[in-house]
Amino acid sequence: MTSLPEIQQIEKRIQGLGSSVRSEVLAYSELDSLRFPIYKVTFGSEDPKAPVLGFTGGVHGLERIGAQVCVALMNSLAELALWDETIKRTLQDIRVFFIPTVNPIGIYKKTRSNPRGVDLMRNAPVEGEAPARWVGGQRFSNRLPWYRGEVGAPMEVEAQALIAAVEKEIAQSSLAVTIDVHSGFGFQDRIWFPYAKTVKPFPDLPLAYSLKDLLDRTYPHHFYRFEPQAQSYTTHGDLWDYLYDNHLQARGEKTYLPLCLEMGSWLWVKKNPWQIFRAEGPFNPIKGHRQRRTLRRHNTLMEFLIRAVASPQAWANLSELQKEDFDKKARELWYATN
């Protein structure tokens, strides 16, 4: 039976942990004789109001390293949950979930899009403000990159599965953070926050600045560039813009911050220029030692986010004065020219 190493690793981990982990198949991605499950694996509290942290990857099949990083982080947390008493106590109060292979056939076929030729990160019914031509999403043909899908058509199976799973997790949660793992842009690893659709500041700007400030103070020598995604480029159809806006309308006192980890793949190409001639070359660390380094590179970020979600008083429970102060600082840092 045809499968993916990443899916095999997920299934092995599910079998090994038994009742200490909750797993489900969100949907199946299908193309001709291929049929791959989209797994969600969850650790921790079953209280729907508990703070929640989510990791997703493999939305773009060519960016396979994103799925592999998600699986590696899931495996690390699974091991910690077996013996680390601090993690065990933390997981009594929060929930952590993983959806590592959102677009499994794209990973298998080494395509950016899903089996129907749709770029899942351009597929939501969100219209961007003057996004870059083509790169921001197009409806001309699924034979060309960045295809959004037909006007008025339902979102793709993979996109619907991701959105339904995340909406279920964040609907009642007092504090929710998700991080979607990608590669393919820049020489530096970036942590992006919304919006992708507009260069205007998004409503929870003080919250994003507060988390950045906490990261900077906790790990002053970290290597991430924390910034709004739209400062790099804007797009139509971003799934996380869609999720955030829907949650914003109905959230009440609940807080949700979607993040994107954009790994700087240009550095891998710079160090090994010949890989540019392989389909996956611009997006993945081809050399074995670089792949291994990447797979262990983001453990500190995961541990930081677990602590941050478990400790909202440190950054998320902002007073009105703090919101005003952080909003001013964020605009000076990120939007001084706007």
Residues of the chain with pLDDT under 50: 338
pLDDT number for residue 1: 57
124-171: pLDDT as tens digits = 999 999 898 889 999 999 999 999 999 999 999 999 999 999 999 999
Q: For the beta carbon of residue 274, count every other beta carbon within 10 angstroms.
A: 9
Helix (H), strand (E) counts: the chain? 11, 8
Q: How are the residues of the chain apportioned to helix, strand and coil, as percentages rounded to the nearest 5?
A: 45, 20, 40
Burial class (CB in 10 A: 0-12, 13-18, 19+), 97: buried
CA atoms within 13 A on the CB side of 81: 24
**Paired tokens of 265:** 């793949």
CATH number at residue 99: 3.40.630.10
Q: What is the pLDDT of residues 248-278, one digit of tens each?
A: 888 777 899 999 999 999 999 999 999 999 9
Contact (CB, 8 A) for 111 and 58: no
Beta partners for residue 57, in sequence order: 181
| Residue 63 C-beta-side C-alpha neighbours within 13 Å | 30
Q: Three-class SS of residue 320?
A: helix
Instruction: Provide the domain count of the chain.
Output: 1
Question: Residue 128: which residues within 8 A CB-CB, separation 6 or more?
Answer: 136, 137, 196, 197, 198, 234, 235, 236, 237, 238
The Cα-based distances of 213 to 196, 218, 231, 233 in angstroms read: 22, 8, 19, 24
Q: Pairing relation of β-strands 190-193 and 225-228?
A: parallel
Residue 194: which domain range?
Answer: 5-334
C-alpha dist (Å) from residue 24 to 97, 157, 232, 327: 11, 16, 35, 39
Angle, alpha carbons 124-74-121 (nearest 5°): 15
Helix (H, G, I), strand (E, B) or coil at 188: coil
Residue 53: count of CB within 10 angstroms of its CB:
25
In terms of phi and psi (left: phi > 0; alpha: psi -120 to 50; beta: otherwise), the region of 122 is: alpha
* Alpha carbon 301 to its chain's center: 13
